[in-house]
Structure 1
Amino acid sequence: MNVTLRVSMNQDGSVNGTPQIVSADQTPAGQAIARAAQRAVVQCGPYTMLSADSFNEWRSIEVELRP
Structure 2
Amino acid sequence: MLNKSLIALSPLALSVLSFYAMAHEGHDHSHPSAGLIHLLWAAPALVIGAFASYKLRKVYLKNRSKDNG
With structure 2 as the length reference, what TM-score do the two structures score?
A: 0.29
Higher relative contact order (CA 8 A, sep 6+): 1
Larger radius of gyration: 2
Of Structure 1 and Structure 2, which has the larger fraction of its residues in helix?
2
Of Structure 1 and Structure 2, which has the larger fraction of its residues in strand?
1
